[in-house]
Structure formats: C-alpha cells, structure tokens
Amino acid sequence: MTHILHIDTSPRLERSHSRSLAREFLEQWKQHHPEATVTYRDLALNPVPYIDETWVRAKFTPEDDYTPELENAIALSDQLVDEFLAADRYVLSAPMYNFSIPAVLKSYIDYIVRPRRTFAVTQNGFQGLVTDRKMLLVQARGSDFRPGSAYDAVNFQEPYLKTVFGFIGITDIETINANGLNIELRDREIAAAKSTIQTLAATW
C-alpha cells in the first residue's frame, strides 16, 4: 500500500496557489489509488524551530553517547525523520520566496538531513539512504521563472530542492510549476499546471 507524506509550506493558507494545486493533485491521484494513505504536515501552521548549538552537537553524536540534554534536543528531529522514512512518496508544495524557498521549509530540511539516518558518509563520499521513493514538487512563483526566461538563472528554488533531496537519495522527482502568478501569465500558467496535474495523477 502506498503511503504519501504531504507537506504544505505557504503561509497564505487558503489563498495559496501551491497548496491549492497540491490538494487538487492528491484528490485526483487518490481516485486512481483509493487504498493509499496520506500523512499531512503543515509547516506554516506548525513550523519547526531553527536548529541551535545543542542540536548540532546531538546531530553528530552517536546515540549511545547521548546525554539527556542531547536526547531532548534531537527528539523532534527523530520524530520528523521517522515520519519521513515511513512514506513511499512525497508531495511537497512551496511558493518561491526571494528566489528560493520559505524559511519554514529550510528549517524542516535541516531537521531531516541527518547522518546515519537519511545519508551516510562512506569511503567513496556521501551516500543517500532514502532510496526507491518518488517526490512531487508543487511550486508557485510570482514572476516568470520558466526555462529560458529572464529570471531562469536566478531560480534557486527547484535546483536546491532537487539537490538536497537527491543528496539523501530521492532522485525520481516530478514537478508541477505555476509561474507568473502576479503578472499576465497567471491564467495560462494555472491552466498548464492543472493540465500537468491530470497527466501525473494518472501516471505517477
């Protein structure tokens, strides 16, 4: 049985395009996979705190050497990693903020990219441990960041997300993008995103 972890990040809540598109995709996808289960995490309503020095010490300390302080500091990270690893697929929705991702998403990523949990350090370098999984990125952008556009070169949102999740082993990543939502491209881009949703809902 397929289990999806659905993560929303936009603080706009019901006015969010990324949330709306991700929700529409899941509704259509579940028609093809009624037996699937979904765990939902809303990082805008329930943000994870920024990491601190104690957390960093815990991250690089073997579990057998944890003090009560370190064990407490890493507890939420363990919970988030366990939840992440329990999923077979991921639907992650995110708006573009200042050419990249919202801070709440970056903080979450810091919590789940963990040595010995989601990646390993080997003699041959880093090795992702989260393999044989799929991810769908649902991304909304106010301006035109389409390939070949004037702002394409400063799109650090999608390259970063594909890089960091690829680092932990997730390389099968699809995208649904809606660009130009604050300019004249809006209606055309939303229509294109909805068309992609129909295709992926039947094949993903």
Map out the domains of the chain with their CATH numbers. 3-203 (3.40.50.360)
Alpha helices in the chain (DSSP H): 17-32, 53-59, 68-85, 103-112, 157-167, 186-203
| Pairing verdict, β 134-140 and 89-95 | parallel
**Residues linked to residue 90 through DSSP beta bridges, in sequence order:** 5, 135
What pLDDT shows up at residue 64? 93
What pLDDT shows up at residue 15? 93
What pLDDT shows up at residue 135? 98
User: For tokens 């990082």, what's the residue?
Assistant: 43
**pTM, rounded to two decimals:** 0.95
Mean pLDDT across 60-82: 96
Q: What is the pLDDT of residues 85-139, one digit of tens each?
A: 999 999 999 999 999 999 999 999 999 999 999 999 999 999 999 999 999 999 9
Q: What does the alpha-carbon distance between residue 76 and residue 94 come to, in Å, rounded to a whole number?
A: 22
Mean pLDDT of the chain: 97
At residue 80 the predicted structure's pLDDT band, cuts being 50, 70 and 90, is very high
What pLDDT shows up at residue 78? 97
Q: What does the alpha-carbon distance between residue 51 and residue 116 come to, in Å, rounded to a whole number?
A: 18
